[in-house]
Structure 1
Amino acid sequence: MAEPEKRDIDIEDLADEAGADAAPDPGAMTAEEIEALRAERDELRDRFMRALADAENSRKRADRDRREAEQYGGSKLARDMLPVYDHLSRALDVVTEEQREAQKAFLEGVELTLRELLNVFSKHGIEPVAPEVGHSFDPQLHQAMFEAPVPDTKAGEIIQVMAVGFMLHDRLLRPAQVGVSSTPAS
């Protein structure tokens, strides 16, 4: 294989070969040409900075979306599991003492299932919102199913809890369903 021919390269030769592609001599440029180049430079710098900012915003948005998907991605499944909790709770609530003695092993199994469901909920950031009778109604956490005047209560006080609500981390998955007193203040 023959070695390439070595020759001395002169900067002026390169400039002659480059022709119009070579950078113009700043001394030969007019003030208008210099100002046009500065304007083009400023425009390119502005576009570059905007592209950098857009890329950074996209990265932050993607990171936020990923975190939300991790934290709240299972909300549909969790919402679909809430009736299972409701049915198990109601089944345990309607059992009489006589039935409890006759079906002790069966009811223990239902209680264990309900406890395990609550453990799984807790593991995934789902916590019950269980108001008690006498607490104040909070429209951020509770849904008023009815209002009724009840003696010895204040307006806006919870008088009955029909269904427990649930939070998924810091979001309301389902409000607690409650009855609220409408007794006017004396």
Structure 2
Amino acid sequence: MGEPKDEFYEDEHTEPKVSLAEDGLGDAPEVDLGEGVDLGAEAVIAALEAERDEIRDRMLRALAEAENMRKRADRDRREAEHYGGSKLSRDLLPVFDNLHRALDAADEASKETAGPLLEGVELTLKELLNVFGKHGITPIQPEVGDKFDPQLHQAMFEAPVPNTKAGDIIQVAATGFMLHDRLLRPAQVGVSSTPAG
């Protein structure tokens, strides 16, 4: 029986090696100290400090990446809550338009003969606007004479109209809508092209 072997030596004829990788903490290379070199405390401490610094760096990077992923997931969740229904909302806008047109088309004679029917259409339109409001959908309803805003309005036509200035809204063809702070549909308007005089 021979003497117990030191853990850094494979057998009596190999060169001494120091392993910098602990169980599962990295794949640091072994440092070959050469034939007959005594492992000094300073060399071991320096090797361990380098390994510690590398592990700390990896850990800080992993924590930063996890925090970024958490923030990104939180932002995506908020956006899905706020804007996830935008396609359905856009699909419901023609329903609003048609109900609005039905009420606009009613004259005094039809109001007398079809009063309850028109009242039902009006109540349906109000309920639709209430549902829109619950989900952050607000109407953009410019008035004739307002200034054209390309962020909120879409010019359907331009025409010179007396007593107006260029850029004034002269007709509102369709109501626009916002979904929270995003434009869902611009208000469709006619714009004056009267030159400045």
Under TM normalisation by the shorter chain, which class is it? 0.7 to 0.9
Q: TM-score, normalised by structure 1?
A: 0.83
Q: Specify which structure has the bigger relative contact order, considering alpha-carbon pairs within 8 angstroms and separated by 6 or more residues.
A: 1
Tell me what 2:53 maps to.
Answer: 42
Aligned residues: 169
Q: TM-score, normalised by structure 2?
A: 0.78
SS in 1 for 2:82: helix
Shift of 1:19: 2.4
Q: Deviations over 1:54-97 (max 9, x none)?
A: 00000011111111111111111111000000000011111111
Q: Name the % identity.
A: 69
Moved more, 39-48 or 105-114: 39-48
RMSD of aligned Cα (Å): 2.4
Is 2:106 the counterpart of 1:95? yes
Equivalence map 1:77-96=2 (5 Å): 77-96=88-107
Tell me what 1:177 maps to.
Answer: 188
Shift of 1:149: 1.1
SS in 2 for 1:19: coil
Name the CA distance, whole Å, in 2 between partners of 1:17 and 1:123. 77
Question: Which of 136, 147, 153 is the aligned partner of 1:142?
Answer: 153
The structure with the largest helix share of the pair is: 1
Name the CA distance, whole Å, in 2 between partners of 1:32 and 1:144. 77
Q: Deviations over 1:135-183 (max 9, x none)?
A: 0111111111111111111111111100000011111111100111111
Name the CA distance, whole Å, in 1 between partners of 2:117 and 2:39. 99
SS in 2 for 1:60: helix
Consecutive unaligned residues of structure 1, counting only runs of 5 or more, are 1-15
Consecutive unaligned residues of structure 2, counting only runs of 5 or more, are 10-17, 21-37
Question: Which of 47, 50, 68 is the aligned partner of 2:79?
Answer: 68
Q: Which runs of 4+ in 1 moved over 4 A?
A: 21-24, 30-34
Name the CA distance, whole Å, in 2 between partners of 1:31 and 1:158. 82
